[in-house]
Amino acid sequence: MWQAKTDEEMRELGKRLGQALTAGDHILLEGDLGVGKTTLTKGIAEALGVTRPLKSPTYTLIREYPEASIPLYHMDMYRITEEEAEILGLEEYYEADAITVIEWPQQIGEWLPDDALTIKVTREEDDTRSLAFSAEGSASQALLHRLEMN
């Protein structure tokens, strides 16, 4: 389990995660509003060489960063139903030689990638954020192993 006391520490954890990612990795970010999911993603983007500001895709649903060393797709499914997810054609993003980061994955159920690393972010009483990891599939298990080795 990782912990962050500040937004800067959360961003640094994102950088650490970003350095371990490879093309085809999928990250699912779960947690309450304002817990730091987008801040973590900013660190991932930074590690991948994205220099433009990363904004939450709350209203655009998907933000693409093709200029990253590995293309990055940042998705926010907070306002999406499973029926709407089908229309978005998410499988095309999952099959791309890229990295996907999905906030609020629980909203789209069956439309999630089969192989993904889930990160559950919780805010503790002292405002520390705790990150718990679970891997589903061989690629995300390999990613989790890489993270444990660093």
Could you list the residue range(s) of the whole structural domain that residue 26 is in? 2-145
Does residue 125 lie in a domain region? yes
CA dist 34 → 7, 37, 55, 100, 149 (Å): 11, 8, 14, 20, 29
Does residue 150 lie in a domain region? no
CATH number of the CATH domain containing 97: 3.40.50.300
pLDDT in tens, 85-96: 888 888 888 987
How far, in Å, CA of 74 to CA of 41, rounded?
8
Does residue 75 lie in a domain region? yes
pLDDT in tens, 72-129: 999 999 988 888 888 888 888 898 799 999 999 999 988 999 999 999 999 999 999 9
Q: What is the pLDDT of residue 140?
A: 94
Q: What's the full length of the chain, in residues?
A: 150
pTM: 0.93
**18 in Cβ contact with 44 (< 8 Å):** yes
Does residue 130 lie in a domain region? yes
Q: What is the pLDDT of residue 20?
A: 96
Q: What is the pLDDT of residue 1?
A: 80
Q: Give the total number of structural domains in the chain.
A: 1
